[in-house]
Amino acid sequence: MKRKILPNEIYIAGQTYTKEQFGMTDHRKKFAKTFTGDTLMKSEIGSVDYGTHVYSYDNSIETHWADAKMVDGVVVWRKSGQIPPVKMLLDFVMLGAITLGVAHMSAEQKAIEQSKTLEHLMVNDRGEICLHADAFVGFEARADEK
């Protein structure tokens, strides 16, 4: 995968997103700034000594990409079949895993699915607002089988 540099601010699917001001990439200036604040590559995690604690949890974009896949031209999580947040999609572009066009299509599809999901809001027997099980039917079809 070939990394791609995106501007600090980008307009996609009707909204503007800015690279994260908090997170590992902002605190450790040696890493390329990302939209989620997570490092791009797993190899960049290693262990970072902050002086007060050592950071070694792998939440890199590369690791997140291993949990995603392409289905019908959009990016989805393998486990749930749902489309990742737009900031994660933009980081996948920076990683070189997908194109900006795929990120845009995925973001637009996510917005459509979120508005359709709201149609399944209901009040249960205890008076709580929740989603009916039908709201998750489309996502299950895209998730990996267990």
Amino acid identity of 80?
A: S
Tens digit of pLDDT for each residue in 94-139?
Answer: 999 999 999 999 999 999 888 877 777 888 889 888 877 777 766 6
DSSP-assigned letters across all residues of 3-65? -----SEEEETTEEEE--SSSHHHHSTTSPP-SSSS-S-GGGTS-EE-SS-EE-----HHHHH
Rounded Cα gap, residues 140 and 102, in angstroms: 21
Tens digit of pLDDT for each residue in 76-100?
Answer: 999 989 999 999 999 999 999 999 9
